[in-house]
Structure 1
Amino acid sequence: MSESSLPGGFISHVVRVGATVRRPASASTEFIGDLLTMFEASGWPGAPRYRGIDEEGREILTYLKGHVAWEPQQPPDVYSEESLLRVTQLVREFHDLTAGTELAGSHEVVCHNDLSPKNTIYRPVSGVLRPVAFIDWDLAAPGARIHDVAQVGWQYLELGPSVEDISEAARRLRLIADSYELVDRRDLVSAILWWQERCWRGIEAAADSGDLAMIRLRDAGAVTEVQEAYQWVCDHRLNMDRALR
């Protein structure tokens, strides 16, 4: 069966084969397989299904049809308030499914750890695009609820120098916390800054060690972009902290 490359490619080469997606296996493949199998058993539709390993040693996942927000310019529906609310609800759903399971271990839940519009499937619902599922679960691991909520704040609000209305961004961050029903949101902005610093430092460290994918990311300006986003959040932290009270 013929293969066709899917968007992305900075980290790993992902291809579509018929109704499946094939991606390189990793040390986390068994964990991710168990996680996706649990989602399937529960009937949760927000993730691809795991179908094992192919003859080339690649993970086999079901292909989810829909719009993935890879390009810089996106339809307004992708960043609408309604889509933001649905993203947050989806996160809460899979967090609640994993809470108290062996996969979460001693942690609160299993986190996706790479939530962004680029890893979200959007489909028409009543004539408008809405998020229906998350892809790229390869970084999923036990963690704290607030970590994924912070990623939603950073990535889906595009917190950084491109934000034109700080008050609106702060209001939407509060909306995320309210929609998720995050009990303790005092550390939410701190968690966003933690993610941003971890991201750019991680890219730099891996690139310095010779990781070709991270070198490409750094050369594409990813480190500078995240550093600027980090500084922007630092500069406007007071406004966002106030909105979360």
Structure 2
Amino acid sequence: MPESSLPGGFINHVVRVGATVRRPASARTGFIGDLLKMFEASGWPGAPRYRGIDEEGREVLTYLDGHVAWEPQQPLAVYSDESLLRVTQLVREFHDLTAGTALAGSHEVVCHNDLAPKNTVYQPVGGALRPVAFIDWDLAAPGARIHDVAHVCWQYLGLGPSVGDASEAARRLRLIADSYELVNCRDLVSVILWWQDRCWRGIEAAADSGDLAMIRLRDAGVVTEVQEAYQWVSDQRVNLDRALR
């Protein structure tokens, strides 16, 4: 079958072959395969299905049709409260599925660790685009619920200097915490800052060691962008924390 490159992949070269997606395998392919097979066995529709390794050593996943929000400008429905609530519900669903399993080990759940609009498939539901699934599970690992919830807050709210209304961001931050029913929501802003600090430092360190993908990210200005986002959250921390009390 012919292959066609899928847009949006900045780190891995991902292609579509018929009704499947092929992506480079890694040392974590076994874990990710087991995770996706568990989702399939449970009937959870929010992730692609794992179909093994092809003759070129690539992971084979089912292709999820829909709109992937990887470009900077998106339809308003992608950023709506309704879509945000559905994202949060999907996160809670797969967290609850993985809690107490061998894959989570001694941790609360298995986390996706890269939840963002660019890794979300949207489909028309009731006349508007709504999130239906997450893709790019290659960073999934055992972790704490709050880690994924904080990443959702950072990425789906676009927390950073481009936020026009900090009070609106604070309202939506509380919306996410309440929708998820997060127990330790007072720590949420601290974990958002932890993610941002970890992100830019990780890119820098990997780029300095010669990782070509991370060099491309740094050259594209991602380190500076994340540092500025970190500073914005730090400056707004009192207001954001207040919304979670």
Query: What TM-score does the superposition give when structure 2 sets the normalisation length?
Result: 0.99
Task: Give yes or no for the alignment of 1:42 onto 2:42.
Answer: yes
Unpaired stretches in structure 1, ≥5 consecutive residues:
none
Q: Write the letter of the residue equivalent to 2:243.
A: A
Q: Which amino acid aligns with 2:52?
A: G
Aligned residue type for 1:170: A
Question: Residue 123 of structure 1: SS of its match in structure 2?
Answer: strand
- After superposition, residues 185-196 of structure 1 pair within 5 angstroms as 185-196=185-196
Distance, in Å, in 1 between the alignment partners of 2:104 and 2:11 is 25
The equivalent residue for 2:137 is: 137
How far apart in 1 are the matches of 2:161 and 2:111? 27
**CA distance in structure 2 between the partners assigned to 1:2 and 1:222 by the alignment:** 33
Q: Could you tell me how far 1:70 is from its partner in structure 2?
A: 1.2
Partners of 2:129 and 2:72 lie apart in 1 by: 17
After superposition, residues 1-245 of structure 1 pair within 5 angstroms as 1-245=1-245
State percent identity of aligned pairs: 88
2:29 and 2:193 mapped to 1: Cα distance? 29
Task: Please give the secondary structure, in 2, of the residue aligned with 1:23.
Answer: strand
Q: In the TM superposition, what is the alpha-carbon distance from 1:71 to its structure 2 partner?
A: 1.1
Query: Take 2:70 and 2:97, find their aligned partners in 1: how far apart are those partners?
Result: 28
State the shift of 1:11 in Å: 1.1
How big is the shift at 1:65?
0.2
The Cα shift of 1:8 comes to 2.3
Q: Supply the distance in 1 between the matched residues of 2:8 and 2:203 (Cα, whole angstroms).
A: 16
Give me the CA root mean square deviation.
0.4
Give every structure 1 segment of 4 or more consecutive aligned residues whose post-TM-superposition deviation is greater than 3 Å: none
Give, in angstroms, the shift of residue 144 of structure 1.
0.1
CA distance in 1, matches of 2:41, 2:62: 15
Distance 1:149 1:71 in 2: 22
Cα deviation, 1:140-177, whole Å, max 9, x if unaligned, reads: 00000000000000000000000011111001000000
* Cα deviation, residue 217, structure 1: 0.4
* Cα distance between partner residues in 2 of 1:217 and 1:7: 16
- Structure 1: how far apart are the matches of 2:158 and 2:115? 12
Q: CA deviation at 1:106?
A: 0.1
Aligned with 1:206: secondary structure? Answer: helix
SS in 1 for 2:191: helix
Instruction: Please give the TM-score of this superposition, normalised by the length of structure 1.
Output: 0.99
Alpha-carbon separation, structure 1, partners of 2:128 and 2:194: 34
Which moved further from structure 2: 5-14 or 201-210? 5-14
The answer to whether the 8 Å contact 2:8/2:71 transfers is no
Aligned length: 245
Alpha-carbon distance in 1 for matches of 2:59, 2:193: 33
Deviation of the 1:7 alpha carbon:
1.3
- Deviation (angstroms), 1:68: 0.4
In structure 2, what residue type is equivalent to 1:110?
V
The gaps in structure 2 that reach 5 residues or longer are none
Cα distance in 1, alignment partners of residues 153 and 70 from structure 2: 18
Report the Cα offset of residue 75 of structure 1.
0.2
The CA distance in 2 between the partners of 1:41 and 1:9, in whole Å, is: 28
In 2: Cα distance, 1:70 partner to 1:149 partner: 20
